[in-house]
Amino acid sequence: MVELFRNGAVRKLEEHELFAMRAVENPSREKVYAELQTYVDIEWRYYDLAAHYYSEDFSYFENGLNEDLLFMTEESELPPRLYAEYLREIDPNERQNEKITHSYLTSLKKNITKVREEMS
């Protein structure tokens, strides 16, 4: 899992640039690409967080730099229609890895939300 998330984090950075280029090439879809860019920017941070979590590098969480992610877990998901658009836009060779990591990340986000609610 760690390697999938590390590779996924690199992929998210590449996708940010991809969506920026596509927005320039296709101005009529600029708004969609802007939303996808924002999504991959946030997801990059979650993928990085997940890579540290699954590698049991818990010292990563002690500095508080990613605390905002813990509070955004519920709001960070794309609507299903836009996520389907995202999957169509990314490299077809990466779709399967994206679906796997997305599934694990969704589960991790649910656990984060549950723990946060229990602590409140």
pTM: 0.84
Residue pLDDT, tens place only, 43-76: 999 999 899 989 999 888 788 887 787 777 666 6
Q: Is the dihedral of CA 51, 55, 59, 62 positive or negative?
A: positive
- The whole-angstrom separation of Cα 26 and Cα 1 is 35
Give the total number of structural domains in the chain: 1
Domain with 87, as residue range(s), is 2-119
How far is the C-alpha of 21 from the C-alpha of 119, rounded, in Å?
43
| pLDDT by position in tens, the chain (length 120) | 899 999 999 999 999 999 999 999 999 999 999 999 999 999 999 999 899 989 999 888 788 887 787 777 666 678 899 999 999 999 999 999 999 999 999 888 888 888 777 877
| Token couple for 94 | 């990466």
- What tokens appear for 105 in the block? 């990340």
